[in-house]
Amino acid sequence: MTGPEESGRGWVLHVDLDQFIAAVELLRRPELRGRPVVVGGTGDPTRPRTVAATATYEARAYGVHSGMPLRTALRLCPEAVFLPSDRPAYEAASEQVMATLRRFPVRVEVWGWDEAFVGARTDDPEALAADLRRAVLAATGLSCSVGIGDNKHQAKLASAFAKPAGVHRLTTGTWAQQMYERPTDALWGIGAKTARKLAGLGLHTVADLAAADPAELARHFGPVNGPWLHHLAHGRGESEVVTTPWVPRGHSRETTFPQDLTDASDIAGQVSALARQVASDAAEAGRAVVRVSVKVRFAPFLTRTRQSRLAAPTTDPAELTRVALAVLGRFDLTRPVRLLGVAVEYAPPGDEAPAYTLTALE
DNA sequence: TCTGGGGTCCTAGGACCC
DNA sequence: TCTGGGGTCCTAGGACCC
């Protein structure tokens, strides 16, 4: 921490913890180091319909990966150690990491449990990145990788190139050289579906997309998404690092049942329980609810949602439960149900009361 | 490999209003 | 009454990310 951050040009850094969940678990259980470990669900690999949140490199050697059903992981690697997900532990570790980053003369924007953007002015961003890595490791025992860029998009991609435990710089100056030959889904925001659709238009690489006509892209992907894809391919992106805490837009709870539900009163009972849970979460967060939606995933895997806007914002559990059940009533529930969910949209904070006096004056 | 849970944002179509 | 044009709100679904 040499303190040169008041001078020099501005940079965006992306700090990404390496194998975050597995690393936190191994800190608590050093005896498991070097063994195949899989984390997910309640840690019971025989329970159907639960998947791995993460797998250590030793487990990956057996073909196990995150998102894989635990039962499959067990078959591939019977000697693996299966651990339950422990959200509070990950949140606590994450807090420690973010607090460490905030001790530097930089701006820190938390972007999830295991990553953050850092805004800084310096003549030597590699030195700053190395300082951040050392400080996080010393304070928490966790390893991270750091990407350096002119904006968040570049820094985010750079940190992936830096993995594991490294530092990498990707800027507008080196964008074409580093990115143009890669497939379009190497960009942050382009997934499998969009990549396939782009390929159908003859656009396979980042260079192809960068050379495409934005108006043509708008016709196929919409007025916002089309031009945005073009921007992504040129390595453009948001460069402002915002330190004010994120204000959640909504909240949800959902459950996949080990066996399908067919009984209507069971289904209603589960939706009530989810609605009460979401209401309690909202009350704890001090947020009023303006919309309630119910999600039903039918067997084998058909997902449908129904939603309803409330007449007035509320946090009342009885009212939210009543609305959730009314929305549930709009589904055709003749097929077996494998998942139920209740989601709410929050009113913007401080927006609960209508400002009718101001309106009257206009 | 029979496929979690929790988020965000965008799009399209219909209702409704002037 | 054979049919405009714009704006806003609401709903359902989709894509993406961690």
Comparing CA positions, the residue from A48, A28, A25, A47 lying closest to residue A37 is: A25
The CA distances from residue A59 to A44, A73, A185, in Å, are 16, 9, 26
Residue A66 resides in a domain: yes
Q: What is the CATH number of the domain that holds A114?
A: 3.30.70.270
Residue A341, CB, less than 7 Å from strand B?
yes
- CB neighbourhood size of A349 (10 A): 12
- What H or E segment, with its residue span, contains residue A133? helix A125-140
Residue A357's pLDDT is what?
36
* Same domain? A138 vs A16: yes
Whether the predicted pLDDT of A291 surpasses 90: yes
CATH of the domain at A57: 3.40.1170.60
Looking at residue A75, its pLDDT comes to: 95
* Strand pairing report for A9-17 and A37-39: unpaired
Asked, for residue A60, whether it belongs to a domain, the answer is yes
Same-domain check for residues A13 and A111? yes
Pull the structure tokens for residue A35: 């063994």
- Final residue belonging to a domain, choices A141, A169, A197: A169
Structure confidence at residue A350 as a pLDDT band (50, 70, 90): confident
Report pLDDT digits (tens) over A85-110. Answer: 999 999 999 999 999 999 999 999 99
What average pLDDT does the segment A1-7 reach? 55
| Nucleotide with the nearest C1' to A250 CA | B7
**DSSP secondary structure letter of residue A347:** P
Residue A356 lies in a domain: no
Q: Which of A144, A109, A112 is nearest to A129 (CA)?
A: A144
Distance A282 CA to B8 C1' (A): 18
Q: Is residue A241 in a domain?
A: no
pLDDT tens across A121-133, in order? 999 999 999 999 9
The verdict on residue A242 lying in a domain is no
- CA A186 to C1' B14, in angstroms, rounded, equals 37
pLDDT number for residue A230: 95
> Is A238 inside any structural domain?
no
- The reply, when asked if residue A185 is annotated as ligand binding, is no
Cβ of A273 near strand B (under 7 Å)? The reply is: no
A31 is catalytic: no
Cβ-contact A178, A162 below 8 angstroms: no
Assigned token pair, A281: 């979460």
Residue A50 has pLDDT above 70, yes or no: yes
Residues A46 and A193 in one domain: no
How far is the CA of A101 from the CAs of A117, A138, A220, A255, in angstroms? 10, 12, 41, 35
Identify the pLDDT of residue A339: 97
Q: Are residues A132 and A277 in the same domain?
A: no
Which residue has 């999830």 as its token pair?
Answer: A112
Same domain, yes or no: A263 and A316:
yes
Provide the residue range defining the domain that includes A80. 21-87
The pLDDT, as a whole number, for residue A277 is 97
pLDDT at A5 over 90: no
Q: Measuring from the CA of residue A248 to each C1', which nucleotide is nearest?
A: B7
Q: How far apart are CA A113 and CA A90, in angstroms?
A: 7
Residues A290 and A307 in one domain: yes
Single out the residue of A160, A16, A39, A13 nearest to residue A97, CA to CA. Answer: A16
A162 and A190 housed in the same domain: no
Last residue of a domain, one of A169, A193, A221: A169
A277 lies in a domain? yes
Protein-strand C interface by C-beta, 7 A: A 112-115, 156, 185, 187-195, 291, 293, 303-309, 330
| Nearest nucleotide relative to A111: CA against C1' | C18
Q: Can you give the CATH number for the domain in which A302 is found?
A: 3.30.1490.100
Three-state SS string over A246-281 comes to CCCCEEEEEEEEEEEECCHHHHHHHHHHHHHHHHHH
For residues A20-56, b (16+ Cβ closer than 10 Å) or e, as one string? Answer: bbbbbbbeeeeebeeebbbbbbebebeeeebbbbbbb
Q: Same structural domain for residues A203 and A65?
A: no
Residue A114 labelled as part of a binding site: yes
Torsion sign, CA atoms A225, A212, A14, A122: negative
Q: How far apart are CA A64 and CA A69, in angstroms?
A: 9
State whether A332 and A255 are in the same domain: yes
Domain co-membership, A295 together with A218? no
- On the question of pLDDT at A191 being above 90, the answer is yes
Number of domains in chain A: 4
**Is residue A294 domain-shared with residue A188, that is, in the same domain?**
no
Domain boundary among A37, A67, A87: A87
